[in-house]
Every structure is written in structure tokens, then in C-alpha cells.
């Protein structure tokens, strides 16, 4: 009798034998599981910049780390919140020879699944106008290009879950082009932004372009109502690198009218190498 084996495709999650694997749980304040959360494990040891990311939490709120075996002390925090929710819990983790420990009352205990409690915290949209000016210094005219800007600040880089809505402008030739940097942050943390932040252009490496080095400090006021936050009195100040602090900037006292980034296109048209006055002679 001929026996035929039918092999059907299936998917199995396989973790490397020499990896460290542990779970984190995300829940709402009423203990309902939260799906869509992502966590980070950032090494705190001197000389290390390792950061590991967890899987996206499932319908049971469970997110999994599966990282190479490595000794060290880490900060465990959430770095991607589901819409309308935020969690500001954080834990200190130690990994020693493949064993995971968590700080409890300033002492480390064998790891048990930790839980991040999410609060309802709808995101608030922030809009900051900016301008990109294209200049031409070569003989070739610049064509259609897209430029992007970003915001940054050492103060809140690890605290706010910033979601960009729009941060680019498309140009087509010389001239000034206006656009708007739009992003959202959890409403409870919006007041942190009133302490100021910076915006700059994201530099690319496209041939022929010299990108702007301009940095602007942005400040604004907030008018809070029972149902919303309104931004008002947006102010721009030029910012220049502080020679005594690699990551710091000196902010001008005077405001400037706009956040403008000037990009220069310096390519030239390809010339015909045939000598002038030459003639083609037929044999």
C-alpha cells in the first residue's frame, strides 16, 4: 500500500537557545489588557548604548523581550503607546548570566512579570510653521525635492511619545516654500513643551545640495479649557551650538520672524566637450 504524507505549512515562533526571554504586561487602570504597546530595554552601563525592543503587546496585554544573553543594568520603559493611552512606569532590570532581576524597594529580586498601567491620555496636536528656501548657485536649475524637519530636546526626549503627522515640504525650483510641522503628544505632557524645544532640518546626502545648519528654539503659551488645549504666541529664537557643551545650544534673546531653512543647489549643467568651431568631414 502506498502511503502519501501531506505536509502543510505552519508557523512556529522559535527563540534562540542562548537568548534571554521574559514578558511585560500592559493594562488599563481597570486592569483591561492593552494591545499595541511596545517597550524598550536601555542599557545603563558606561560605554554601552545598547537598546532592545519588545514585541507588540497582544490582546492579553503581553509583550515579549527576546534578546541576546548579555550582562548589565537596564532601564525598562514603554516607548510606543497605543492611541489615547500613556504609561509612565519604569523599572530597573539586571541581567546576570542569563538570569533576569528587577529592582524592588532598591533591592534586586528574581524577575516576575511586571505590569505597566495605562492612563487615558488623548494626544494633542501641535502645529509649528516653518519655511524652506531653495537657492541656486550652479548653472543647473533645482528640480522637485522633498525636505523634512524634526524636533528635539534633551529635556523630554525619553518622556514624550511624539507622533509626527506631517514634517516635510516639497519644493520645485528656486524660491521660498511654507509648510507646517505637525505632531501629537499626550495631553498631560503638553505643558512640558512650553519650556521650549528645538527644530532643525533632517539632512540628506543628495548630490548637489548643501543643507541648512539652522536650529531654532521654539516657545509658546497654552490656553487650557475644559475640553481642549489651545496654543498661542508661538515664538522662534535662533540657536547656535555651545562650544563648551556638545549637545547644548545658546539661544538668542531676540525672536526671529520665522523658522527658515536655506538649502543651496550648486550643480552645473554638463557641457558639450566638442571644441568650438570644429567640423565633421565626410570621407
Domains of the chain: 19-120 (2.60.40.10), 123-265 (2.60.40)
* CA 109 to each of CA 89, 97, 99, 240, 252: distance values in angstroms, whole numbers, following the listed order: 18, 15, 11, 46, 50
Res 273: pLDDT: 54
Beta pairing partners, 19: 68
Higher-confidence residue of 13 and 233: namely 233
Distance CA 67, CA 260 (A): 43
Res 113: pLDDT: 95
The answer to whether 177 and 134 have CB atoms below 8 angstroms apart is yes
Mean pLDDT score, 83-110: 90
Distance CA 169, CA 162 (A): 19
Res 159: pLDDT: 57
pLDDT > 90? residue 157: no
Joined grid coordinates for residue 95: 541581567
Beta pairing partners, 21: 66
Beta pairing partners, 110: 101
Res 14: pLDDT: 41
pLDDT tens-digit series, residues 161-191: 688 899 999 999 999 999 999 988 888 777 7
pLDDT > 90? residue 230: no
Res 56: pLDDT: 94
143: nearest Cα among 92, 209, 192? 209
Average pLDDT of the residues of the chain: 85
Mean pLDDT score, 78-84: 79
Amino acid at each position: 500500500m502506498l502511503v502519501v504524507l501531506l505536509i502543510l505549512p505552519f508557523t512556529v515562533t522559535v527563540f534562540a537557545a542562548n537568548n534571554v526571554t521574559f514578558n511585560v504586561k500592559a493594562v488599563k487602570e481597570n486592569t483591561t489588557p492593552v494591545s499595541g504597546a511596545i517597550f524598550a530595554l536601555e542599557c545603563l552601563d558606561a560605554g554601552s548604548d545598547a537598546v532592545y525592543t519588545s514585541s507588540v503587546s497582544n490582546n492579553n496585554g503581553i509583550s515579549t523581550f527576546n534578546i541576546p544573553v548579555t550582562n548589565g543594568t537596564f532601564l525598562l520603559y514603554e516607548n510606543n503607546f497605543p492611541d489615547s493611552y500613556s504609561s509612565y512606569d519604569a523599572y530597573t532590570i539586571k541581567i546576570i548570566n542569563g538570569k533576569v532581576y528587577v529592582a524592588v524597594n532598591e533591592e534586586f529580586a528574581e524577575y516576575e512579570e511586571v505590569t505597566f498601567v495605562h492612563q487615558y491620555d488623548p494626544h494633542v496636536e501641535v502645529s509649528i510653521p516653518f519655511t524652506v528656501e531653495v537657492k541656486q548657485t550652479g548653472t543647473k536649475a533645482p528640480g522637485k525635492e522633498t525636505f523634512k524637519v524634526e524636533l528635539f530636546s534633551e529635556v523630554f526626549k525619553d518622556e514624550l511619545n511624539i507622533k509626527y503627522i506631517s514634517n516635510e515640504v516639497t519644493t520645485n525650483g528656486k524660491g521660498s516654500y511654507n509648510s507646517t510641522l505637525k505632531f501629537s503628544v499626550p495631553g498631560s505632557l503638553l505643558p512640558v513643551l512650553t519650556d521650549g524645544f528645538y527644530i532643525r532640518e533632517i539632512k540628506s546626502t543628495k548630490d548637489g545640495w548643501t543643507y541648512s545648519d539652522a536650529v531654532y528654539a521654539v516657545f509658546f503659551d497654552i490656553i487650557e479649557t475644559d475640553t481642549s488645549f489651545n496654543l498661542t504666541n508661538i515664538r522662534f529664537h535662533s540657536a547656535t551650538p555651545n562650544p563648551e557643551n556638545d549637545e547644548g545650544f545658546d539661544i538668542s534673546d531676540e525672536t526671529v520672524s520665522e523658522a527658515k531653512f536655506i538649502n543651496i543647489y550648486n550643480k552645473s549643467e554638463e557641457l558639450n566637450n566638442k571644441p568650438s568651431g570644429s567640423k565633421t568631414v565626410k570621407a
